[in-house]
Amino acid sequence: MFRTDGRLADGRTIRWYDREEGREAVPDRRDLPETTPMSQLRYDVLTDEYIVLAAHRQNRTFMPPANECPLCPSRPDYASEVPSEDYEVAVFDNRFPALSDAVTDVEEIDDPLFASAPAYGACEVVCFSSNHNASFKDLSLEQARLVVDTWADRTRELSARESVEYVYPFENRGAEIGVTLPHPHGQIYAYDMVPPRARKELDAARRHHSRTGRNLFGDILSRELAEGSRIVAQNATWVAFVPFAARWPVEVHLYPRRQTPDLAALDEAQRDGLAELYRDVLGRFDAMYDAPLPYISAWQQAPAKDDHPDRRLAWLHVELFSIRRSADKLKYLAGTESGQGAFSNDVAPEAVAERLRELGTSR
């Protein structure tokens, strides 16, 4: 993997990732004003969680026509967020970040009920391909591996920032999910805190280790492999399974067989295995119905800093799920789920796993 760094017209950084060296950074010919993020963290004392307020994101780009896609390569008649005429993988600082180390004029208030602080961190956009009409499953194995290497590089670099406590790569795919740009891409949020879902999982892992002396994620993986009914696919380094207590109509988790804290720590064999199995599972998702499955892909990693006490308990994995519950129906979060966080699933995890296994042989 070869990386080339450049600057966009408003001072943001762009990075090209290629399988071969020789690329040169291309200047951005747009006339863009510099923006000042005003993001704020507000503490919700009722739930012990922080909420990000980012009013400047209200006017971000929303579903432009294909010939004005800001994630496509630039053309002589159109300058996009990627100045070059082509690229393999491109990563740039989000123009409308929810988190930023450049936040100014946001007061920190130390109040037991109404605490607030600047929302420091980083938000990056990861373009998986220059092909506007592709999806991750359509990438070649080599291209998918380049994306994995890109995730690893960004995790390593962002984790080293003083303000960053947790690096979260994710992908939203599909209009039903609320995607604002259809071009194949994901995002990375670098938080100055451990976000709620990760914190809950690590809290559970700490309690499990205190009771048993074992790793919770490793025990889950061993149990799923032993029972087998929810296994979707596997290879020498990774396992994909529907979780026992799946919340979503279609939900698959991918675990490396060996405990690994984050994407940056993956070895060569693990990176190859991830590229292979991840494409495979996404292909099964899209084979379920006549239309591509909307999904969210959420990477759970270790806290960024080596001295964080929970880093030794973490086990890198991706939680992949869709809100589509049948060919023509979506799952909406109803009163119990939105109001209490108490999920109800209409589909048995074992049935979903069986269906996804069948799709692997029928494609």
pLDDT for 111-129, tens place per residue? 999 999 999 999 999 999 9
Same domain assignment for residues 261 and 287: yes
Which of 195, 225, 249 lies at the terminal end of a domain, its last residue? Answer: 195
Using pLDDT thresholds of 50, 70 and 90, give the confidence band for residue 272.
very high
Same domain assignment for residues 113 and 213: no
Which of 163, 195, 227 lies at the terminal end of a domain, its last residue? Answer: 195
Same domain assignment for residues 167 and 215: no
Please give the mean pLDDT across all residues of the chain: 94
Same domain assignment for residues 219 and 190: no
Residue 248 CA, distance from chain mean position: 17
Q: How far apart are CA 124 and CA 99, in angstroms?
A: 10
Averaged pLDDT, 238-258: 97
Residues 6+ apart with CB under 8 A from 14: 5, 6, 7, 8, 25, 28, 81, 82, 83, 90, 91, 92, 93
Using pLDDT thresholds of 50, 70 and 90, give the confidence band for residue 264.
very high
Same domain assignment for residues 206 and 276: yes
Using pLDDT thresholds of 50, 70 and 90, give the confidence band for residue 315.
very high
Same domain assignment for residues 159 and 285: no
Q: How far apart are CA 336 and CA 261, in angstroms?
A: 33
Same domain assignment for residues 171 and 215: no
Report DSSP letters for 299-358, one per residue: EE---SSTT-TTTTT---EEEEEE-EEETTEE----HHHHHH-----SS-HHHHHHHHHH
Domain, as residue range, for 84: 2-195
Same domain assignment for residues 207 and 189: no
Q: How far apart are CA 197 and CA 200, in angstroms?
A: 5
How many separate domains does the chain show?
Answer: 2
Using pLDDT thresholds of 50, 70 and 90, give the confidence band for residue 64.
confident
Q: What is the CATH number of the domain that holds 40?
A: 3.30.428.10
Same domain assignment for residues 186 and 248: no
Same domain assignment for residues 225 and 97: no
Question: Looking up tokens 């291309």, which residue turns up?
Answer: 26
User: Higher confidence at residue 36 or residue 232?
Assistant: 232
Tokens of 327: 């060919």
Predicted local confidence at residue 153, as pLDDT: 98
Averaged pLDDT, 243-258: 97
Which of 143, 170, 195 lies at the terminal end of a domain, its last residue? Answer: 195
Using pLDDT thresholds of 50, 70 and 90, give the confidence band for residue 361.
low
Residues known to be catalytic: 185
Predicted local confidence at residue 38, as pLDDT: 85
Helices (H), 57-140: none
